[in-house]
């Protein structure tokens, strides 16, 4: 990757990891589906006027938004409700190998041996960071969480070609146009009248929602679709393995958490593995 694109790509796990941590307290007031629905709806309402209707691509965009957002969140959150935290963190990271496999079959992108080795190193770091998960008897939760990881990866791979056609920010905007209302409908079905939650939310929750909708969603996913449209999936997807690290750093700073040495070791291994993928060996042989 070019240096500029590496920095652009790194904004994705940084913003998503930060947003993940601060969203947790907000879920005391906004149920997950409602929070996600508003997170997509806010940038859609603001940005849709700046991008023309992508004629001929609306059906494809709808498919990506349904698979990669609505269905994915429904599966993931249902699974997360049934399994413990360490299992959840580990299983969600399978989005990366899922994405690489899907890109191999759909886009014929073949990962290099170096990328496979680096991905394996990074995933070992994830296992060390999260600890050995307790998966005994949690088969339904495992299935739902893995299904959510798979659908997110499938949506990302499907979005790759769309990003090339209409641009990253236009794609992000129109995906929000479809995803926001779908998630709000899901919220009404499972959570009841959203006005009850909206009217009772405190100022901190609204500030969190403002960050998610006005900063995290447009910048993080705009950057994500930008680098995804320029580089092979097996080069971009491993960046998401950094998300637990950025979330952990945020938790240390904002929540005062004190992780063990095992967590720092796992984080260092993840960074090392991902760096092998992002940075080229510039040494030339004469």
d(C-alpha 122, C-alpha 273), whole Å: 5
Q: 135 or 76: which carries more pLDDT confidence? A: 76
221 or 270: which leads in pLDDT: 221
Residue 63, pLDDT above cutoff 80? yes
Unique residue bearing structure tokens 């994500």? 224
Contacts of 52 (CB under 8 A, 6+ apart): none
Percent of residues, the chain, with pLDDT higher than 90? 46
Q: How many CB atoms lie within 10 A of CB 23?
A: 20
Spatial contact of 145 and 135, defined as CB atoms under 8 Å apart: no
pTM of the predicted structure, to 2 decimals: 0.86
- Say yes or no to pLDDT of 166 above 70: yes
Residue 282 has pLDDT above 70, yes or no: no
Does 117 or 136 have the greater pLDDT score?
117
Give every CB contact of residue 264 below 8 A, 6+ residues apart in sequence: none
d(CA 236, CA 274): 10
DSSP state of 239: G
Q: Are 47 and 222 in contact (CB under 8 A)?
A: no
Orientation angle between helical segments 168-191 and 72-80, nearest 10 degrees: 50
Name every residue whose Cβ is closer than 8 Å to that of residue 202 and which is 6 or more positions away in sequence: 29
For 244-281, the pLDDT digits (tens) are 788 778 777 876 767 677 778 888 888 888 888 877 65
Q: Which helix (H) or strand (E) holds 78?
A: helix 72-80
């Amino acid at each position: 990757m070019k240096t500029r694109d590496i920095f652009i790509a790194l904004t994705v796990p940084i913003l998503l990891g930060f947003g993940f941590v601060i969203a947790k307290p907000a879920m005391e007031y906004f149920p997950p589906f409602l929070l996600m629905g508003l997170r997509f709806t806010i940038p859609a309402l603001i940005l849709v006027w700046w991008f023309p209707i992508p004629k001929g691509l609306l059906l494809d965009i709808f498919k990506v938004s349904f698979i990669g957002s609505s269905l994915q969140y429904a599966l993931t959150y249902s699974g997360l409700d049934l399994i413990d935290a360490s299992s959840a963190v580990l299983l969600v990271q399978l989005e990366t190998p899922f994405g690489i496999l899907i890109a191999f079959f759909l886009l014929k992108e073949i990962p290099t041996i170096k990328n496979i080795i680096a991905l394996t190193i990074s995933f070992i770091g994830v296992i060390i960071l999260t600890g050995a998960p307790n998966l005994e008897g949690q088969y339904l939760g495992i299935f739902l969480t893995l299904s959510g990881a798979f659908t997110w990866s499938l949506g990302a791979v499907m979005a790759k070609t769309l990003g090339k056609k209409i641009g990253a920010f236009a794609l992000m905007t129109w995906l929000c146009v479809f995803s926001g209302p779908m998630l709000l409908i899901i919220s009404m079905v499972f959570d009841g009248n959203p006005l009850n939650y909206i009217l009772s939310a405190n100022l901190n929750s609204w500030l969190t929602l403002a960050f998610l909708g006005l900063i995290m969603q447009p910048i993080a996913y705009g950057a994500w679709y930008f680098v995804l449209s320029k580089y092979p999936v097996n080069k971009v997807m491993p960046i998401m393995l950094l998300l637990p690290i950025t979330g952990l750093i945020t938790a240390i700073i904002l929540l005062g958490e004190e992780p063990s040495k095992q967590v720092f070791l796992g984080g260092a291994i993840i960074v090392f593995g991902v760096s092998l993928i992002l940075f080229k060996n510039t040494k030339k042989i004469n």
